[in-house]
Amino acid sequence: MFYIAEVEDYVRVEPKLFGLPTVEAVDKQLREAYSNYYDRELGRAAAVIEVLSVGEGVIIPGDGATYYNSRFKLLVWKPELQEIVFGEVSEITKFGAFIDMGVMRGMIHISQTMDDFVSFSKSNVLSGKNSKRNLKQGDLCIARIVAISHKGDEPKVGLTMRQPGLGKIEWIKEDANKKQKEDEKAAREESKAEKLDKKSKTKEKKK
């Protein structure tokens, strides 16, 4: 889930930025420092939105940089269990697929890619035995977060697409069209049954 966080931190501004106005130097340093930054409580930093305030600079002996106590706004994304996410398949493996969600990657086990028996081909494609559906690199998908692990330097996000309304975009469209046709067919049959029932009641009245 994306949200805006207000953060207060001491920013170490390197000497190469000393020629810039202080706020601009802090802004540039923040964008560099928080690029690809992740914190378990905060989430993944997507962008520095605004520098709110910058305090007096502090110099530490032996360090050529200057430290500024600053307040700023960050756009962050924090994965939440059961959250619906959109992404692109970035890699196919024997055990599943990796989906690029923009600011983070998620992993989907081969058994969770579709409601079918799935096999891995030499051409790096996951194929459903009965449905004949294929999943390959570059496919756009909608998935649900079912697991989050914070072991190691990077969080691991587990996904599933074995639920209604999830999967490759083309599959979702196919399922929606199929359901629409089934609903239309059911409506026609119901209308036909009502007409027959009405005719039957009319005949009974005439008798």
The pLDDT tens digits of the residues spanning 83-97 come to 999 999 999 999 999
The domain tally of the chain equals 2
Which residue type is seen at 18? Answer: F
Q: How many residues does the chain have?
A: 207
Residue 152 has pLDDT above 90, yes or no: no
Residue 207 has pLDDT above 70, yes or no: no
How many Cα neighbours within 13 Å face the side chain of 110? 16
The pLDDT tens digits of the residues spanning 27-53 come to 999 999 998 899 888 899 999 999 999
User: Is 202 part of any domain?
Assistant: no
Same-domain pairing of 66 and 94: no
- Specify the DSSP element, H or E, that contains 186: helix 169-206
In terms of Cα–Cα distance, which of 22, 27, 24 is closest to 56? 22
Same-domain pairing of 96 and 166: yes
Domain carrying residue 98:
84-171
Residue 148 has pLDDT above 70, yes or no: yes
User: Is 8 part of any domain?
Assistant: yes
